[in-house]
Amino acid sequence: MTQDQLKQAVAQAAVDLILPKLDDKSIVGVGTGSTANCFIDALAQHKGAFDGAVASSEATAARLKGHGIPVYELNTVSDLEFYIDGADESDEHLHLIKGGGAALTREKIVAAVAKTFICIADASKLVPVLGTFPLPVEVIPMARSHVARELVKLGGDPVYREGVLTDNGNIILDVFNMQITNPVELETRINAIVGVVTNGLFAARPADVLLLGTPEGVKTLKA
């Protein structure tokens, strides 16, 4: 199976998992990226079964609207049962690295509101220790050099992601060469640097369920 087929399989598995629990008042939280796009396309086949969605990025909002799915502002939604999103890496505790597509902050906000975060990923994303994928950090533009120096003190090699602005108008520093043995502590320490909006570690609030696409079928891991 190709990586794309594995992504489609986990996206369909996520739809199958949540569909029986949706009704015409349900709002679904939707992530960003190629795997989340597969989920949007699969979810769109069941438009009548739920009310609408909250999007974690402008790109996701556009794709949802393209399918005719109503998109709500998060501030108008009080009850979000599910958030479905991909990841760049996951460990066995469902601690994640996210933000390869620069959507980490809005993703973390929507994930924080949702009762259940279902992560969908192909098998290549499951790793023993997080950190081979460079850790994205969203930074207020004027703090770029300061934050980079502080990240070096934490042992990383930050690289400015040229030409990328987040949906919030900020920049991304990708931190290379971090062996992330304590993701909860590192997430907190990086977020404490002045000028950091948030970093791509989802460890304080990990995923609740990981649907992992493997050539042998979709495996379900729970935190």
Catalytic residue among 89, 107, 150, 187: 107
Residue 213 touching ligand R5P (CB under 6 A): no
Taking the CA atoms of the chain, what radius of gyration do you get in angstroms? 17
CA-to-CA distance for 199 and 90, rounded, in angstroms? 15
Helices 34-43 and 3-18: crossing angle, nearest 10°? Answer: 50
Q: Judged by CB, which is closer to ligand R5P: 29, or 100?
A: 100
Number of residues that bind ligand R5P (CB under 6 A): 18
- Is the dihedral angle over the CA atoms 98, 101, 102, 104 positive or is it negative? negative
Beta bridge partners of 118: 84, 209
Binding segment (CB under 6 A) for ligand R5P, from list 27-35, 156-164, 181-189, 209-217 = 27-35
DSSP state of 46: G
Active site (annotated) includes residue 187: no
Contact between 22 and 16 under an 8 Å Cβ cutoff? The reply is no
Residue 212 touching ligand R5P (CB under 6 A): no
CA-closest candidate to residue 80, choices 112, 44, 103, 45 = 112
Interface residue with ligand R5P among 35, 90, 198, 199 (CB under 6 A) is: 35
CA-to-CA distance for 156 and 118, rounded, in angstroms? 29
Q: Judged by CB, which is closer to ligand R5P: 85, or 91?
A: 85
42 to 7, 35, 200: CA distances (angstroms): 11, 11, 26
Query: Which x/- pattern, by CB under 6 A, does the window 104-143 give for ligand R5P?
Result: x--x------------------------------------
Residue 103 touching ligand R5P (CB under 6 A): yes
Beta bridge partners of 116: 82
Q: How far is the CB of 121 from ligand R5P (least distance, A)?
A: 7
Interface residue with ligand R5P among 87, 148, 171, 218 (CB under 6 A) is: 87
Q: How far is the CB of 103 from ligand R5P (least distance, A)?
A: 4
Q: Judged by CB, which is closer to ligand R5P: 103, or 137?
A: 103
CA-to-CA distance for 125 and 75, rounded, in angstroms? 31
Q: Which amino acid is at 82?
A: F
Binding residues: 32-35, 85-88, 98-101, 125
Residue 101 touching ligand R5P (CB under 6 A): yes
- Which residues are the active-site residues? 107
Residues engaged in binding ligand R5P (CB under 6 A): 31-36, 85-88, 98-104, 107
